[in-house]
A and B are shown apart, each in its own frame.
Chain A
Amino acid sequence: DAKTTQPNSMESNEEEPVHLPCNHSTISGTDYIHWYRQLPSQGPEYVIHGLTSNVNNRMASLAIAEDRKSSTLILHRATLRDAAVYYCIQSSGGYQKVTFGTGTKLQVIP
């Protein structure tokens, strides 16, 4: 299964931007990069996904390196509600199977 590498944990101050890194050195041309986040006692929540170009939506931005071997999820202004485990996923296969790793636990400091 496709593997990504993320730091185990990160901290951010409230109302400051957060950059969450991810390495996906084995990515192939048709694999998408997805980010999900999971709050305690809830199922994962979709954040954003992309293939080659940078992507923006109301929740976050996704910056994808030119060689596609790494990406960064950007939360423009962290709030306490953004404290969660963030999963970077390299989907693969005909139906783009989503395989989770252990994620980055983001702590937001008031």
Chain B
Amino acid sequence: GAGVSQSPRYKVAKRGQDVALRCDPISGHVSLFWYQQALGQGPEFLTYFQNEAQLDKSGLPSDRFFAERPEGSVSTLKIQRTQQEDSAVYLCASSYQHGISPLHFGNGTRLTVT
């Protein structure tokens, strides 16, 4: 079956532009996570959804970052007024349920802010 799909694969934005990154999780997966990965670093947690509820947004670096999952399936990570330090790979992962179900990751969106 299809895995986690993220789009676009690459995004170049001018500083100050808004961007929206999409994640299509595996069908039926309850939990959805967003991570940010800088070059040469491990992924950093951003936020967690259980169905449509955003239960943890402690990793969002500023109020310019906003995530939603309105129908408990597709999720969008929005970054307003992008800055150069936002350049990174943004990874989405889903799992069957909360708890210890393995995370299934997409291949990420590489965002470059110029």
Contacts and interface: CB of A to CB of B under 8 A. Distances in A.
Interface of A: 1, 32, 34, 36, 41-46, 49, 85, 87, 91, 94-103
Contacts of A42: 105, 107
Nearest to B108: A43
A32 B43 CA distance: 18
A103 B42 CA distance: 7
B107 A43 contact: yes
A45 B108 CA distance: 13
Contact of A95 (B48, B93, B102, B104): B48
Given A98-B33, A98-B103, A43 B93 contact: yes
Contacts of B41: 102
Q: What's the dominant secondary structure at chain A's contact region?
A: loop
B103 to A, nearest CB: 6
A68 B93 CA distance: 27
B42 A43 contact: no
A45 B105 CA distance: 7
Nearest to B91: A43
A47 B3 CA distance: 16
Nearest to A93: B56
A62 to B, nearest CB: 13
Contacts of B50: 95
A78 B22 CA distance: 35
A43 B106 contact: yes
Contacts of A99: 45
